[in-house]
Each structure stands twice: as structure tokens, then as C-alpha cells.
């Protein structure tokens, strides 16, 4: 039988295995037939009887060992289960030609097994090695190992990290992790390369914010500030506008590179986007403080002079009522006070320290000056048979402030039909205002020390005494010529063709004009449908007659006697209103050179104006006559 433990053949009556020494199993029924062959019995019998040739035994995997001294005559030479004996037996047999081999040829027989067992060696089983199978198995194992390794590297995260460390393609997670490892060991260049590959793999749809922040830090460590800024700007602009760290890192770079103004702007944006008060405090510490004004914004009832100051002594630039202006570029440098008259004033001002600009001071002031009450008049409206005098007084409401010296009231009035203004006469207490014989409308306003006028006081009187006043100059009044009607042919037939001519344009007249010069002045004509019509005349002699038989050389009094004069006195400027009604106006103007001009304006039914001027010399005599058509 074969030992079930080591495979050595043992006799049926052996208790223990002659090779390994373990107890052999014995049963009542011994194996026969096929089982007996499997247990080596057949081989033993064949080896003893010599029935099986040695070359047949060598074709199988089993070989039986038999001691030479116990080998029967004519028995076949055995083979061995022991590897060393098997090798030695193979070498001996293979060195001898198969055809000349005989039983008497000696084959080396091991003695160690016999000595170890203390008795004759027993026949054992032997196995041959199929090296082709072994090679196939080995190659298969190698292939399987390669496939497993490949799968491990490609499928598992540990494998991906290994590939990333070796510089091979790996997923983004492994590249980020390996980049962190390289960053921690100080290998910044390789860390940046790993981070950049990882970011490229993530693309825009799967942004690794912590990883990009670490990459930005690596760029900063390498001095690649522009690359770091590009990352931070991308993060707070497009990816995570509410995250703190991208703003903080970019602000740090801006300040370290001397761009404090840009840093201040970004601090404001960061505060608005994140709500973190840290950015607001940081910005307040960086920028100059706002300007300070000595007047509180809001409603005021007197005119103000406002003063600005900088708490830190910086320059101040300001602008008033201009929302589109950019400070400080479009502003005015503050030097002294800013006067606020009546109205609405919106102040914008900043303090400037180099490139740093403070937050804008914005304040709106409403200056609404109190108006005086309507003045009083001494004469009630009505019809009077005799000429009357009228006086004007401030209202009782204003008298208390006047008596205390808190206010001053100035009374302006007109009786020529115009609305009182700063160029109207000022009423001064005395004989009062003498009313002309006709319908007279007295208008008066009170103006306080702030220049604020009251509403207009209006009273109408009818004076029926003699003599009656003249009428106003009207468009039907003509003299030697009729403006915009007399043609050049008619004019030249009476006054000649002139000494010279020139073509020109006249203000307010779109048609081409031609001026003819004479020794007494000039006449200007406009061309309408090929014909010339007079629109302007200047004359220094009595050769040409003006409306109502007036001409050069007449006195001021004579001219005024031809037209309406309501008797209004001069205003502080020296001008004097004559009349103002629906037909036109009349007024005496004091010129800059001291001379005076009497001017009458007549309104035509088609909307044009006719101007008639009498220029007076120092003797109050008409020195020149001027007529003009105004479209």
C-alpha cells in the first residue's frame, strides 16, 4: 500500500510508514483490482515477476524501488520515488542505449533510505515532471499577476495615487492628493504640475475650490503672483462669490505689490458679497476718513456758507449738484467756504491721500428762505377825478422784525404796467407816487434781507383829470419809410443809391441782406423773391423822418411828449420805464458810456416786432435815429 501522508510504498504488514514514520491505516478488506493498482500492488508484482519491461515502466509516472540483493533473477531494473535517486537513475539510464541495456548493468542504489529504516528499502512511487505544463502554468501566473496589477493601478484609488507619484496619468482626486504630499515635502514645482493636471481634468464643471486655493498658495510661494491672482479672481468672480479666502488672498497680493487703491475697492466688494465685517474694518483702516462739514444736511431757512475739513489733513475735492461727475477727477479742490443760496444743493466730497480715496461724503441741503408778506398801499383802488399820490409800506407781519433789526424790507414798484423786479424803482417814503391821468396799475413787492420777494401787490386806479396821456408806439406809426415794406427802388429814388454796398447776414433774418452806405448812415435790405425790402435804418441827420414826425435834433422832452409816459421814476440802475402794455413797451436805458437811449417796441399782428430808438447825447438831444424790423 502507499502511505497516505508521504506517498511511500509500504508492505501490508507494516504498522508505520518506513519513510515518514506515521501510522498506516489498515482495514479488514484490502484493495483489489483497480484500487490495488492505485495502491501500487500491480507495480510491485510486475517488478517481482519481470512481467513489465523497464521501458514500459519508464512510460508511467510511478517507479518502484527494489534492493539489488533482493531482486529476483531476470527482474527489471526499478526507478525511484526519491528525487535524487531518480535523477541519478535517469542519468545512468539515458547514458546507455536503449537497445543494449541488460539487467546486469548496475544502477546506483541509495543506501541512506535502507540505513534510515533499519531494513531493506521498500519500493516507492515516483512522478515525472512535465516542464511544458510547468512553463504554461508559470506564464499564466505571470500574466494573471500583470492583469491584477494593471487592474489594481487603474481601478483602485491607491493604485491611482501610485501612478500619480510615478508621473503617469491618474484621476484628478489622486493628482490633488499627490500634489498635497509633494507640497508638504517642499517639492513645489512637482506639486504645481500635479495640481495643474488635476484642475485641467476637473474642468469648469467640477471645480475643486480647496485644491485651487492650494494651487494659488503654491504659485505665491514660487513667486508666480499673476497666476495666483488669476485663480483667486476666477474663484470670487465666477465660482464662489461668497467665499472669504479668495478675497483675502487677492487683497494680500494687491497690498504687497503697492496696489492699495485696488485693494480698497476689492474690500468693499468682498464686504458686499460675503457680509463679513472684517473686510469693512480692513477697508476703513486703509482709506482716508471722509470729509467733515460744519453744516448739518437738511432744511435751512437762511443762506449758508459751508466749510469742509479733513480729519487727517488730506486734500478735499467736492462737487455740487452733479450726479454724473467722478470724484476726485471731476471735482474742485476745496480751498474756502461754499456758499449755499436758496435752492436745493447736493454736496459730494472725498478726501484724497495719493492713490487712496475716502468714501464719499454726500449731503443734501434745502435752503428755503422765508418770504415777506405782501406790502400795504395807502390808497384804495377806484376812480378819482384828481391826480393822486400813493404810498407803500411793509406788512404788519414784517414790521416787528424790521423794528428789532432782524430784517430789512425793500419795496419795489411799477406804474408803467410791468412786473416789479430788481430793475424797478425803489419806493422811498416822501411825497409818494404821483399817478398819471389815465388807468394806472400799481404793482409792488417786498424783498427781505435774504433777497426773497413777496407776492405782488396789485392795485388799479382810474384818474380822469386832464391832460390825458399819449398813446404807445404801434406798428401803424410810420415816417419816411415803412419797415419790411419800402423797397430799395422806392428808397433809392428818394435818397440815392448810396456810396457803397456790402452783402451780409442780419441777426434774426434768414434771408440774404445787402447794406447801402450813405453820408448820413446806412440802410439794410433783405432779399425776398428777388426784391429788396428795408429792414434796418441808421440816420444821424434830420434828412429822414421817424414816426410821429420825430427826427434827429429833437430834445428828449419833445420825444417823450409824442408817446406814452406813465411818469415812473428811474430805477437804481438809471433806467426808467415809460409804459408796458399789449401794444408794446417804452423804456429809457442808461448806456455804459453814460449816454441814454429811448427805445420803443411795437408788436405787429403777425407776431413781429418793430424797434424805434432815439440815441441822446450829453445835452439830452437826439443824435441818431435807429429803426429795425425783428422777425
Q: What tens digit of pLDDT does each residue of 62-82 get? A: 444 445 555 455 544 444 445
Query: In three state form, how does the secondary structure of 103-145 look?
Result: CCCCCCCCCHHHHHHCCCCCCCCCCCCCHHHHHHHHHHHHHHH
**3-state SS assignment for residue 578:** strand
Alpha-carbon gap, residue 435 to 456, rounded angstroms = 19
Rounded to 5°, angle at Cα 326 from 320 and 332: 50
Rounded to 5°, angle at Cα 240 from 235 and 244: 85
Segments of 354-451 assigned E as strands: 356-357, 361-367, 376-377, 382-384, 389-390, 392-393, 410-414, 433-434, 439-447
List of the chain residues with pLDDT < 70: 1, 26-127
Alpha-carbon gap, residue 557 to 629, rounded angstroms = 26
**Running DSSP on this structure, what letter comes out for residue 9?**
B
Alpha-carbon gap, residue 303 to 368, rounded angstroms = 8
C-alpha dihedral, 347 to 351 to 354 to 356, nearest 10°: -90
Residues whose CB falls within 8 Å of the CB of residue 531, separated by 6 or more in sequence, listed in order: 487, 488
Cβ atoms < 10 Å from Cβ of 529: 6
Angle, helix 225-234 to helix 244-256, in steps of 10 degrees? 150
End-to-end Cα separation, the chain, in angstroms: 149
Q: Rounded to whole angstroms, what are the CA distances from 14 to 25, 105, 427?
A: 10, 31, 162
In sequence order, the β-bridge partners of residue 458 are 443
The pLDDT tens digits of the residues spanning 205-231 come to 888 999 999 999 999 999 999 999 999
Q: Which three cell numbers stand for residue 179?
A: 500634489
Rounded to 5°, angle at Cα 140 from 137 and 144: 140
In sequence order, the β-bridge partners of residue 621 are 555
| Cβ contact 373:445 at 8 Å | no
- CA 544: distance to chain centroid? 73
Q: Which three cell numbers stand for residue 99?
A: 537497445
Cβ atoms < 10 Å from Cβ of 457: 20
**Running DSSP on this structure, what letter comes out for residue 616?**
E
Query: In three state form, how does the secondary structure of 429-494 look?
Result: CCCCEECCCCEEEEEEEEECCCCCECCCEEEEEEECCCCCCCCCCCCCCCCCCCCCCCEHHHHHHH
| Cβ contact 514:502 at 8 Å | yes
- Return the sign of the alpha-carbon dihedral for residues 546, 548, 550, 555: negative
Alpha-carbon gap, residue 163 to 178, rounded angstroms = 10
- CA 161: distance to chain centroid? 43
Burial of 255 (0-12, 13-18, 19+ CB in 10 A): middle
Give the domains, in start order, of the chain with CATH numbers: 33-128 (no CATH), 156-286 (1.25.40.10), 292-367 (2.60.40), 376-463 (2.60.40), 488-630 (no CATH)
Residues whose CB falls within 8 Å of the CB of residue 465, separated by 6 or more in sequence, listed in order: 384, 385, 386, 387, 437
Residue 83 phi, psi (nearest 5): -60, -45
Q: Which residue has the cell 496589477?
A: 149
Alpha-carbon gap, residue 78 to 72, rounded angstroms = 12
Alpha-carbon gap, residue 81 to 20, rounded angstroms = 14
| Cβ contact 513:524 at 8 Å | yes
Residue 186 phi, psi (nearest 5): 85, 5
Amino acid at each position: 500500500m502507499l502511505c497516505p501522508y508521504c506517498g511511500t510504498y509500504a508492505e501490508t504488514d507494516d504498522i508505520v510508514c518506513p519513510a515518514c514514520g506515521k501510522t498506516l491505516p489498515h482495514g479488514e478488506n484490502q484493495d483489489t483490482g483497480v484500487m490495488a493498482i492505485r495502491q501500487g500492488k500491480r507495480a510491485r508484482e510486475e517488478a517481482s515477476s519481470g512481467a513489465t519491461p523497464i521501458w514500459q515502466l519508464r512510460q508511467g509516472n510511478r517507479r518502484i524501488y527494489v534492493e539489488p540483493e533482493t531482486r529476483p533473477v531476470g527482474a527489471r531494473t526499478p526507478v525511484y520515488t526519491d528525487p535524487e535517486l531518480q535523477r541519478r537513475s535517469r542519468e545512468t539510464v539515458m547514458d546507455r542505449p536503449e537497445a543494449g541495456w541488460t539487467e546486469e548493468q548496475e544502477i546506483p542504489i541509495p543506501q541512506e533510505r535502507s540505513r534510515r529504516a533499519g531494513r531493506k528499502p521498500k519500493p516507492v512511487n515516483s512522478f515525472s515532471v512535465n516542464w511544458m505544463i510547468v512553463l504554461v502554468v508559470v506564464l499564466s501566473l505571470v500574466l494573471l499577476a500583470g492583469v491584477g496589477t494593471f487592474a489594481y493601478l487603474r481601478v483602485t484609488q491607491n493604485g491611482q495615487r501610485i501612478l500619480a507619484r510615478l508621473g503617469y496619468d491618474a484621476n484628478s482626486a489622486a493628482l490633488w492628493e499627490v500634489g498635497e504630499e509633494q507640497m508638504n515635502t517642499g517639492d513645489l514645482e512637482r506639486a504645481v504640475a500635479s495640481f495643474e493636471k488635476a484642475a485641467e481634468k476637473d474642468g469648469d464643471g467640477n471645480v475643486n475650490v480647496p485644491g485651487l486655493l492650494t494651487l494659488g498658495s503654491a504659485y505665491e510661494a514660487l513667486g508666480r503672483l499673476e497666476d495666483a491672482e488669476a485663480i483667486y479672481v476666477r474663484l470670487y468672480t465666477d465660482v464662489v462669490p461668497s467665499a472669504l479666502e479668495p478675497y483675502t488672498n487677492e487683497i494680500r497680493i494687491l497690498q504687497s505689490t503697492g496696489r492699495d487703491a485696488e485693494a480698497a475697492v476689492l474690500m468693499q466688494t468682498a464686504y458686499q458679497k460675503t457680509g463679513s465685517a472684517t473686510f469693512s474694518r480692513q477697508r476703513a483702516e486703509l482709506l482716508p476718513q471722509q470729509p467733515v462739514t460744519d453744516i448739518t444736511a437738511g432744511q435751512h431757512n437762511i443762506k449758508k456758507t459751508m466749510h469742509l475739513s479733513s480729519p487727517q489733513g488730506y486734500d478735499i475735492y467736492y462737487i455740487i449738484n452733479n450726479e454724473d461727475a467722478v470724484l476726485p477727477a471731476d471735482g474742485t479742490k476745496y480751498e474756502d467756504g461754499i456758499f449755499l443760496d436758496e435752492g436745493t444743493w447736493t454736496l459730494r466730497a472725498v478726501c484724497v491721500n495719493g492713490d487712496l480715496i475716502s468714501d464719499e461724503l454726500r449731503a443734501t441741503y434745502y435752503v428755503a428762505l422765508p418770504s415777506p408778506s405782501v406790502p400795504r398801499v395807502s390808497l384804495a383802488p377806484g376812480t378819482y377825478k384828481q391826480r393822486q399820490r400813493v404810498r407803500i409800506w411793509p406788512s404788519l407781519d414784517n414790521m416787528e422784525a424790521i423794528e428789532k433789526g432782524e430784517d430789512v424790507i425793500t419795496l419795489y414798484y411799477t406804474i408803467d404796467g410791468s412786473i416789479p423786479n430788481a430793475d424797478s424803482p425803489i419806493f422811498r417814503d416822501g411825497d409818494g407816487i404821483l399817478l398819471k391821468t389815465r388807468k394806472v396799475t400799481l404793482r409792488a413787492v417786498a424783498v427781505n434781507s435774504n433777497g426773497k420777494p413777496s407776492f405782488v401787490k396789485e392795485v388799479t386806479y382810474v384818474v380822469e383829470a386832464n391832460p390825458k396821456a399819449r398813446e404807445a408806439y404801434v406798428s401803424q406809426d410810420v415816417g419816411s419809410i415803412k419797415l419790411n415794406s419800402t423797397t430799395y427802388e422806392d428808397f433809392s429814388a428818394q435818397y440815392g443809391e448810396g456810396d457803397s454796398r456790402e452783402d451780409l447776414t442780419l441777426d434774426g433774418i434768414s434771408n440774404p441782406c445787402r447794406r447801402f452806405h450813405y453820408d448820413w448812415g446806412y440802410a439794410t435790405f433783405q432779399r425776398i423773391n428777388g426784391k429788396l425790402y428795408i429792414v434796418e435804418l441808421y440816420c444821424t441827420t434830420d434828412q429822414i423822418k421817424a414816426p410821429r414826425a420825430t427826427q434827429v435834433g429833437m430834445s428828449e422832452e419833445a420825444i417823450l411828449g409824442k408817446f406814452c409816459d406813465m411818469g415812473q421814476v428811474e430805477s437804481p440802475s438809471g433806467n426808467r420805464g415809460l409804459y408796458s402794455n399789449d401794444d408794446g413797451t417804452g423804456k429809457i436805458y442808461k448806456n455804459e458810456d453814460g449816454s441814454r437811449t429811448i427805445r420803443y417796441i411795437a408788436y405787429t399782428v403777425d407776431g413781429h416786432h418793430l424797434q424805434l430808438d432815439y440815441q441822446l447825447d450829453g445835452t439830452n438831444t437826439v443824435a441818431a435815429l435807429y429803426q429795425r424790423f425783428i422777425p
